[in-house]
Structure 1
Amino acid sequence: MRVRHDRAVDALRAQLAAQPDGAPIRLAKPTSNLFRFREPPGRTALDVSAFGDVLQVDAAARTADVGGMTTYERLVDATLPHGLMPFVVPQLKTITLGGAVAGLGIESTSFRNGLPHESVLEMEILTGAGEVVLATPDNEHRDLFRGFPNSYGTLGYALRLRIELEPVRPTVALRHVRFTGEQAGAEAIAEICANREHEGVAVDFIDGTVFSPDELYLTLGTFAEGGAEVSDYTGRRIYYRSIRERSTDRLSTRDYLWRWDTDWFWCSQALGAQHPLLRAVWPKRYLRSDVYRRLVALDRRHRLSDRVAALRRLPQREPVIQDVEIPVGALAEFLDFFHRDIGISPVWLCPVRLREPRTWPLYPMDPATLYVNVGFWATVELEPGAPEGKHNRLIERKVTELGGHKSLYSTSYFDEADFWTLYNGRIYRELKDTYDPRGALPDLYDKCVRAR
Structure 2
Amino acid sequence: MSTKVGLERRIARWMEDHRGLIVVLVVLPLSLIFDALMKLRHWIFHKFISAPEKHEDRVRSVQKQVLRWNKQSEVERRLMCTARPNWQSLSTTFFRKEFCHKISIPLYDILELKVPYMTIRVEPMVSIGQVTAFLVPRGYTLAVCLEVAEATLGGLAMGVGMTTYSHKVGLYQETIVAYELVLADGSLVRATKDNEYSDLYYTLPWSHGTLGFLVALELQIIKIKPYLKLEYIPVKGQKQYCDMLRDLSGALDKNRVTPDYLEATVYNKEEAVIMVGNFADVPDDEKHKINRVTRWYKPWFYKHVEGFLKKKKGYEYIPLEDYLLRHNKSIFWVVETMIPFGNNPLFRFLFGWLLPPKIAFLKFTTTPGVRAMTFTKQVFQDIVLPMTQLEDQIDICEELFNVYPVLVYPCRIYDHGLNRGQLRPPHKDQMVPGANYGMFNDLGVYGVPKLVREKKRFDAVDAMRKMERFTAGVGGYPFLYADIFMTRGEFEKMFDLTAYEQVRCKYNAEGAFPHLYDKIKPEIDVVEVGKQYIDPI
User: Structure 2 length as normaliser, TM-score?
Assistant: 0.75
Alpha-carbon distance in structure 1 between the residues aligned to 2:100 and 2:440: 42
Q: Aligned runs of 1:15-164 on 2, under 5 Å?
A: 15-19=65-69, 21-29=76-84, 31-38=88-95, 45-49=102-106, 51-164=107-220
Shift of 1:305: 9.6
Is the 1:172–1:252 contact (alpha carbons within 8 Å) kept by the matching residues of 2? yes
The amino acid across from 1:442 in the alignment is: P
Matched, 1:294 2:361: yes
Q: Aligned runs of 1:292-371 on 2, under 5 Å?
A: 292=359, 294-295=361-362, 298-303=365-370, 306=373, 317-354=376-413, 360-366=420-426, 367-371=436-440
Alpha-carbon distance in structure 2 between the residues aligned to 1:283 and 1:220: 27
Shift of 1:204: 0.7
CA displacement, residues 406-447 of structure 1 (integer Å, 9 cap, x when unaligned)? 221111111222211221122221111122444221111112
Shift of 1:393: 0.7
Alpha-carbon distance in structure 1 between the residues aligned to 2:54 and 2:478: 38
CA displacement, residues 224-273 of structure 1 (integer Å, 9 cap, x when unaligned)? 11463421232122111111224322210011100011110011112227
Shift of 1:159: 0.9
2:328 paired residue number: 261
Alpha-carbon distance in structure 2 between the residues aligned to 1:170 and 1:385: 49
Instruction: Looking at secondary structure, tell me which structure has more helix per residue.
Output: 2
The amino acid across from 1:11 in the alignment is: S
Give 2:293's match in structure 1, choosing from 218, 233, 241: 233
CA RMSD of aligned residues (A): 2.9
1:243 paired residue number: 305
Give 2:470's match in structure 1, choosing from 398, 401, 404: 398
- Distance change in 2, residues 1:26/1:356 (3 Å): same
CA displacement, residues 134-165 of structure 1 (integer Å, 9 cap, x when unaligned)? 11112221100011111111112321111221
- Distance change in 2, residues 1:40/1:85 (3 Å): same
CA displacement, residues 3-61 of structure 1 (integer Å, 9 cap, x when unaligned)? 41100011112233444641332223362111113456589632222x11110112233
1:429 paired residue number: 501
The amino acid across from 1:263 in the alignment is: S
The DSSP-based 3-state class of the residue aligned with 1:210 is strand
Alpha-carbon distance in structure 1 between the residues aligned to 2:510 and 2:483: 26
Identity %: 21
Alpha-carbon distance in structure 2 between the residues aligned to 1:357 and 1:341: 33
- Distance change in 2, residues 1:304/1:151 (3 Å): closer
The amino acid across from 1:16 in the alignment is: V
1:376 paired residue number: 445
Give 1:9's match in structure 2, choosing from 50, 55, 59: 59
Alpha-carbon distance in structure 2 between the residues aligned to 1:121 and 1:398: 33
- Distance change in 2, residues 1:201/1:114 (3 Å): closer
- Distance change in 2, residues 1:232/1:3 (3 Å): closer
The amino acid across from 1:10 in the alignment is: R
Shift of 1:346: 0.8
Alpha-carbon distance in structure 2 between the residues aligned to 1:80 and 1:385: 48
Shift of 1:201: 9.2
Alpha-carbon distance in structure 2 between the residues aligned to 1:274 and 1:434: 52
- Distance change in 2, residues 1:139/1:305 (3 Å): closer
Alpha-carbon distance in structure 2 between the residues aligned to 1:295 and 1:345: 23
CA displacement, residues 276-301 of structure 1 (integer Å, 9 cap, x when unaligned)? 355444362x4246x04532552454
Which deviates the most, 147-156 or 412-421?
Answer: 412-421
Q: Could you list the runs of 5+ residues in structure 2 that have no partner in the other structure? A: 1-50, 309-313, 427-435, 525-537
2:245 paired residue number: 189
Q: Could you list the runs of 5+ residues in structure 1 that have no partner in the other structure? A: 310-315
Is the 1:203–1:222 contact (alpha carbons within 8 Å) kept by the matching residues of 2? yes
Is the 1:136–1:142 contact (alpha carbons within 8 Å) kept by the matching residues of 2? yes
Alpha-carbon distance in structure 2 between the residues aligned to 1:402 and 1:322: 17
- Distance change in 2, residues 1:388/1:242 (3 Å): closer
- Distance change in 2, residues 1:414/1:355 (3 Å): closer
- Distance change in 2, residues 1:361/1:304 (3 Å): closer
The DSSP-based 3-state class of the residue aligned with 2:448 is strand
- Distance change in 2, residues 1:119/1:212 (3 Å): same
Alpha-carbon distance in structure 2 between the residues aligned to 1:35 and 1:196: 35
The DSSP-based 3-state class of the residue aligned with 2:490 is helix
- Distance change in 2, residues 1:42/1:447 (3 Å): closer
Matched, 1:205 2:261: yes
Is the 1:124–1:160 contact (alpha carbons within 8 Å) kept by the matching residues of 2? yes
User: Structure 1 length as normaliser, TM-score?
Assistant: 0.88
Matched, 1:411 2:483: yes
Instruction: Looking at secondary structure, tell me which structure has more strand per residue.
Output: 1
The DSSP-based 3-state class of the residue aligned with 1:153 is coil
Alpha-carbon distance in structure 2 between the residues aligned to 1:61 and 1:425: 33
Alpha-carbon distance in structure 1 between the residues aligned to 2:522 and 2:167: 32
Is the 1:104–1:149 contact (alpha carbons within 8 Å) kept by the matching residues of 2? yes
Alpha-carbon distance in structure 2 between the residues aligned to 1:304 and 1:364: 32
- Distance change in 2, residues 1:442/1:387 (3 Å): farther
Shift of 1:319: 3.1
Alpha-carbon distance in structure 2 between the residues aligned to 1:304 and 1:122: 36
